[in-house]
Homo-oligomer: A and B are copies of this chain.
Amino acid sequence: MLYEITLPQFKKTLLNLSKILDKANAHAQVKKFDFTVLLNARLAPDQFPLVRQIQIACDTAKLGAARLSGKDAPTHDDQEKTFEDVQKRIKETINYLETISAKDFAQSETKRITQPRWEGKYLTGFDYVNEHVLPNLYFHVTTAYSILRHNGVDIGKKDYLGELPFKN
């Protein structure tokens, strides 16, 4: 079950972010400013800039999938500096997510998930997904979105949500 509420939505959300960044890049070209201005933009002096929001969004999905499935994830050194760099980061993350199937998530709900900064404590896979991974993923994608909105990029809620699977 955890697979169905995570992996498809991880991929969709990162793809939406990628398309939002396409719009931001087009905006920068029209306005004739360097896209790196946006990558370094932030909403508060002590909040991470756009580039870091993108990196963390990618890592939230990547490490979430890796911890729940036990399948090693590619490493990234957070050196992205350009539009092409951040798009490559997103693409590589989605490519990794594509390698993970529902059966890799067997028993993931009760799996003990931990990371170094939790000092030996753990969350169950279920709690990790619902109280940590999903809120964090949406947090960083929304913050990236807000930084761009604040800087005049013409995007809306639909860009964030993507297409919905409506039925007639």
Contact = CB atoms under 8 A, between A and B. Distances in A.
Interface of A: 1, 4-5, 8-9, 12-13, 43-44, 47, 112, 118, 120-124, 126-127, 130-132, 134-136, 138-139, 142-143, 146, 149-150, 152, 157, 160-162, 164-168
B127 A138 contact: no
Given A149-B43, A168-B120, A9 B131 contact: yes
A130 B12 CA distance: 11
B13 A135 contact: yes
B142 A139 contact: yes
A43 B150 contact: yes
A132 B162 CA distance: 10
A149 B124 CA distance: 31
